[in-house]
Amino acid sequence: MSNPARKSEVPCGPHQEPDAKTSQRTESELPCEGLKGCRCFADSAVAVHTEADIIALPRSRPVAKAAAAFKSGDFEAAEQGYTEVLAGAGDADARAAALANRAQCRLRLGLFEEGREDAATARALAPENPKAWYRLGLCEARLARLTEAEAALGQALELRPGDPAVSAALTAVRRRQAEGRGRYAWEEVWSQYLISAQLVYQQAQKEAGTGDAAAPTPAGQSLAAAMDEVDGLVLASLGVEPYVGPVRIGLSEGRGRGLFVTEDVPAGRLLLCCHALVTGMHQDLPGRLASCARRSPEIEEFLRGMSQGTAESETEVPSLSPAQLAAPRRLLRPPVSTVEGPEGSAGSHEEGLSSEDLETVMVFNQFSLPMVNPNAAPIEVTNDPGRSGVWLLPSFVNHACLPNVQRTIVLDCLFLRAGRDLKAGDELFDCYIETLQPLARRSSSLSTYGIKSCGCDRCLFEEAVVGDESGQADVQAVLEQVAAGATCGGEQAEIADKTEAAATQAEVVMAQALDRALAAGAA
């Protein structure tokens, strides 16, 4: 079955800030940004550009023109300029320098494949040129070819020992390699989770008029800083490498497509870390999805094949691999220009997805973002009423009221862990709704998403024991007793007594219902 709408979610050292032109970096240009300790590598790719970034060439009018364009931030003009310089280069060293400089321009323009070709040719012409190796390593890193990036950056460091930029780039690549194996700096990840989700909670409180407008934010951050939009597609990026564990996409009987484990896994094991395709305010997501479709035929095809709320709409396994679905923004072509932003696209299609198609994708495949109130005891995690996102690979996880996975969203990353021991071939099940609800309320919530019956062991048990009118009436009476105790307005001791009495009554109701079911042979 499909996924319902808004599934429930229960730097090293200072650096120069980019100027107006370089600050318009796209997420596809920066897929390798790491957490604290590795961000210096990403920063080096967008920091204020200087003549030190350019390999010295014999001075000439074309060289001076290209260097001036690069220094001013006009990378398109600089790229064209170094193309002219390359055409007039007379020896291997001059050609290598021009190619390495053009590779740098193409890095800034997000043209990583083209930049890689230039850097690889420069490396071949001048194998002792450390900047050629460095640029090649950066391009390989941007293309998520981490093994090749590590080799190129390692060679650059041998040629230029102790270079801080090369060392930082190599450290970042090795960290990404560890993340790609599921090894994350968890303390930093959870720090980002608490900070960002708390800021969203505070913003929601202010918008509702119930929060302190002057309330300080964690670590001195602002909501705008923590939720700085990346490429107009996601609110903020955690900046870690995705991870796909022992899972595969397959067909689930009566449910359409599903996600299955390929080996025995223990409870608590990380199964997935996936990047969002888009996150944002609900009303902004259809436009962002349309932008993604225009920038990638593969993404457009996938969006057309996403769940429409029926098993019949999920009869084919996607052509994209789980690894590609875990990092979908890497499939996007750069926008035509920074002026157009994500609306412009290389390879745009005249006929894109209709508004109805996009709304269907949203209804059945979006996840709510979390809000965290750290002042509650215990910490309170709720759904953001105004923001959500679309993750491609996790969208294949089907619903069960007795889930076997645990889901956590941190900025643009969705982490999925085994909630219990699983055997090879077991299907993964998430709970799309609030889990701690009685059967009638869960059924009502699921019906709005086209799910008539969950069919899990929990639902079957509750249907057998308290599924009749008498059982439902008894459950409703307990719920009313709980609500009355919570809102009685008395002293804490009185509230505790009323809540304890409601809990005791719940045990009595369930014991009596179970006795009736056993007597009737339901067991």
Q: Does the pLDDT at position 306 exceed 70?
A: yes
CATH class, 235-432 region: mainly beta
Average pLDDT over residues 168-185: 96
Average pLDDT over residues 437-456: 83
Average pLDDT over residues 126-136: 95
**Residue 351 pLDDT:** 66
In this prediction the pTM is 0.77
Q: Does the pLDDT at position 213 exceed 50?
A: no
What does the pLDDT look like over 69-99, one tens digit per residue? 999 999 999 999 999 999 988 889 999 999 9
Output 482 or 203, whichever has higher pLDDT: 482
| Residue 221 CB coordination number (10 Å) | 15
The structure tokens 């491609």 sit at 392
**Residue 420 pLDDT:** 96
Output 231 or 430, whichever has higher pLDDT: 430
Query: Is-cis flag, bond preceding 127, omega within 30?
Result: no
Q: Does the pLDDT at position 210 exceed 70?
A: no
162 φ, ψ to 5°?
80, 0
Cα–Cα distance measured from residue 146 to residue 155, given in angstroms and rounded to the nearest whole number: 14
* Lowest mean pLDDT, pick from 218-222, 252-256, 423-427, 430-434: 218-222
Q: Does the pLDDT at position 434 exceed 60?
A: yes
Q: Which residues contact 403 (CB under 8 A, 6 or more apart)?
A: 419, 429, 430, 431, 435
CATH superfamily for 36-180 is Tetratricopeptide repeat domain (1.25.40.10)
Output 421 or 439, whichever has higher pLDDT: 421
**Residue 492 pLDDT:** 75
**Residue 515 pLDDT:** 81
**Residue 270 pLDDT:** 98
What does the pLDDT look like over 245-283, one tens digit per residue? 999 999 988 788 999 999 999 999 999 999 999 999 999
Task: Give the HSE-up count for residue 454: Cα atoms under 13 Å, Cβ half-sphere.
Answer: 29
**Please, which pLDDT band fits residue 221 given cuts at 50, 70 and 90?**
very low
* Lowest mean pLDDT, pick from 110-119, 244-253, 364-373: 364-373
Q: Where are the alpha helices (DSSP H) in 319-437?
A: 322-326, 355-365
**Residue 53 pLDDT:** 57
How many angstroms separate the Cα of 165 from the Cα of each of 142, 202, 246, 319? 16, 38, 35, 38
Q: Does the pLDDT at position 121 exceed 90?
A: yes
Cα–Cα distance measured from residue 86 to residue 78, given in angstroms and rounded to the nearest whole number: 12
Q: Does the pLDDT at position 130 exceed 90?
A: yes
**Residue 225 pLDDT:** 38
Q: Which residues contact 507 (CB under 8 A, 6 or more apart)?
A: none
Structure tokens at 36: 């604290």
Cα–Cα distance measured from residue 219 to residue 37, given in angstroms and rounded to the nearest whole number: 17
**Residue 226 pLDDT:** 39
383 φ, ψ to 5°?
-85, 135
Output 384 or 147, whichever has higher pLDDT: 147
**Residue 8 pLDDT:** 60
**Please, which pLDDT band fits residue 347 given cuts at 50, 70 and 90?**
very low
**Residue 482 pLDDT:** 73
Q: Are 442 and 454 in contact (CB under 8 A)?
A: yes
**Residue 298 pLDDT:** 96
Output 382 or 273, whichever has higher pLDDT: 273
Mean pLDDT computed over every residue of the chain: 80
Q: Does the pLDDT at position 449 exceed 90?
A: no
Average pLDDT over residues 370-399: 87
